[in-house]
Amino acid sequence: MLDFKRAARPVAAVHARGRLILALLLSLPQLASAAAAGPVPREHQGTWVPSAAACESTLRAQLSADTLTLVNGKDSQPLRGIEMAGPGYFPPDYRGIMAVLITEFDGHQPVTVTFNADEKRGAARLEFAPVQPGPGNPQLKAYNAHISKLNLAKRFPLDKVMLKKCA
On whether both 31 and 61 belong to a single domain, the answer is no
Sequence letter at residue 52: A
- Phi, psi values for residue 7, rounded to 5°: -65, -30
Q: Which domain range does residue 6 map to?
A: 1-36
- Phi, psi values for residue 76, rounded to 5°: -145, 155
Q: Residues 26-53: what's their mean pLDDT?
A: 73
On whether both 77 and 21 belong to a single domain, the answer is no
| Segment 73-127, tens digit of pLDDT | 999 999 999 999 988 899 999 999 999 999 999 999 999 999 999 999 999 999 9
On whether both 16 and 73 belong to a single domain, the answer is no
On whether both 63 and 136 belong to a single domain, the answer is yes
pLDDT at position 24, please?
Answer: 43
On whether both 84 and 112 belong to a single domain, the answer is yes
CB 114 within 8 A of CB 128: no
On whether both 31 and 87 belong to a single domain, the answer is no
| Segment 49-88, tens digit of pLDDT | 999 999 999 999 999 999 999 999 999 999 999 999 988 8
Rounded to two decimals, the pTM is: 0.77
